[in-house]
Amino acid sequence: MPHDELAELLRRFGREQCTQEPLYAALCTVAAEDERALALLAEAPREQRKANLLLAALHERVLAGATPELAAYYPSAGGERAVDEGLAAALRVGLAREWPALVEHLRHGATQTNEVARCAAIWPALGAVERATGVRDLALLDFGCSAGLNLGLDRCHLRYRTDDGAWHERGAARDGRAAEIESLWLGAAPLPQEAEWRLASRHGLDPAPVDVNDPARLRWLQACLWPHDARRGERLARAAAQLRDLPVTLTQADDCIAAIEPWLASLPSGVQPVVLTSWVLYYFSEADLARLRATADRLALSHGLAWICGELPALSARDVAPPPAPELPTQESAASATLWTLRHVAHGRVVERHLAWSHPHGRWVYRL
């Protein structure tokens, strides 16, 4: 990819995706003018050549204490310096000093945000599975699981705020240990109920699953978060601590699509298998996406597999055109709104339902 295309990729990401992260908006602009930053981004495989991978690699070096000049700008590292003309020089110093480690991240890394706040949308989606199938005990497979933090969603404390300003609590008690998720509940649809479903099995698949007991790998997850949002960092840390006490199995698979069927074969009778994808298909080639879709539909018909999918609407919706996105509060953007769909078997055929729109990081949910 020519450097001018990489530069435009960075500028567009900063302009469209970083409206609430001024540091990253500025870094994208500065990196787009820096030949070494563009060369670093070019080190990534084509399917991973994303602005957020470059940003995560820089953030990881900041969190590791290796780039104090950049750290001065990062609230996640205790920095308080506002974006100024010194940012470009700090970036140049960081790139020069940490080039080998940064190249390693770009060549072999992948953004693994594992955003626990998406559970605000996953919670009602699991309720939709229970109602559609009539089965209470769910076997959940997080496809592209990273550290599998979303497999502990029933141990999280969820708080939905409605238009009248009232808070509605679901899930675990607010005890100072549970990961806390706050989300705006938009529209007139009923709030999700307390869980009538139960997670009987928790399994994750990933080409490079993250062991939450490995400090370096956990630091990479923190680096994939945006630096201004301390609450996201605390939520991730709590979710990681929760996961250590749960019966979770994470499986490394170079071909995660091929690993779905063996997982199904390992399940006990009487459970409802559910595959969850959230902001995973964005990284798929067209050929792999087609293979995943064909595999999921085949296994739906043969094994009753249900698929919860939370992605950009062009990737999530297949059979029916996406419904209109909701009117959002003025401080929110619909540019990367996530459409949640459910595919399952009904009357001998695979059907698709639109469940909800949400913010990609769970800040709001609009149930359809």
pLDDT tens-digit readout, 217-247: 999 999 999 999 888 889 999 999 999 999 9
Give the integer Cα–Cα distance in Å for 263 and 85. Answer: 53
Q: Are residues 277 and 128 in the same domain?
A: yes
Residue 167: pLDDT above 70? yes
CA nearest to 10, candidates 57, 55, 66, 61: 55
Q: What are phi and psi of 40, to 5 degrees?
A: -65, -45
- What residue has token string 């995560």? 56
- The total domain count for the chain is 2
Is the same domain home to 96 and 121? no
Q: How many CA atoms within 13 Å lie on the side-chain side of 128? A: 23
63 and 157 in a common domain: no
Shared domain check, 126 and 67? no
pLDDT band at 39 (very low <50, low <70, confident <90, very high): very high
Q: Residue 356: pLDDT above 90?
A: yes
Find out whether 146 and 112 touch, Cβ atoms under 8 Å: yes
Residues 100 and 169 in one domain: no
Q: What is the pLDDT of residues 288-298, one digit of tens each?
A: 999 999 999 99
What does the pLDDT average to over 150-161?
97
Q: Name the helix (H) or strand (E) containing 106.
A: helix 99-108
Domain that holds residue 20: 3-108
Return the pLDDT at 299. Answer: 98
Q: End of a domain among 65, 86, 108?
A: 108
Percent of the chain with pLDDT over 70: 99
CB count, 10 Å around CB of 10?
A: 25
Q: What is the pLDDT of residues 69-116, one digit of tens each?
A: 999 999 999 999 999 999 999 999 999 999 999 999 999 988 876 789
Mean pLDDT (the chain) is 94
Q: Is 77 exposed, middle or buried (0-12, 13-18, 19+ CB in 10 A)?
A: middle
pLDDT at 14: 96
Neighbours of 318 (CB within 10 A): 13
> Do residues 9 and 52 lie in contact, with contact meaning Cβ atoms separated by under 8 Å?
no
CA atoms of 125 and 119, how far apart (whole Å): 9
- Report the alpha-carbon distance of residue 359 to residue 354 in Å, rounded: 15
CB 92 within 8 A of CB 34: yes
pLDDT computed for residue 113 by the predictor? 66
- Within 10 angstroms of residue 135's Cβ, the number of other Cβ atoms is 18
Quote the DSSP letter at residue 78: T
Is residue 160 predicted with pLDDT exceeding 90?
yes
Cα dihedral 70, 147, 280, 368 in deg (nearest 10): -110
* Same domain, residue pair 94 and 122: no
In a shared domain, residues 101 and 120 = no
Q: What is the pLDDT of residues 244-259, one digit of tens each?
A: 999 999 999 999 999 9
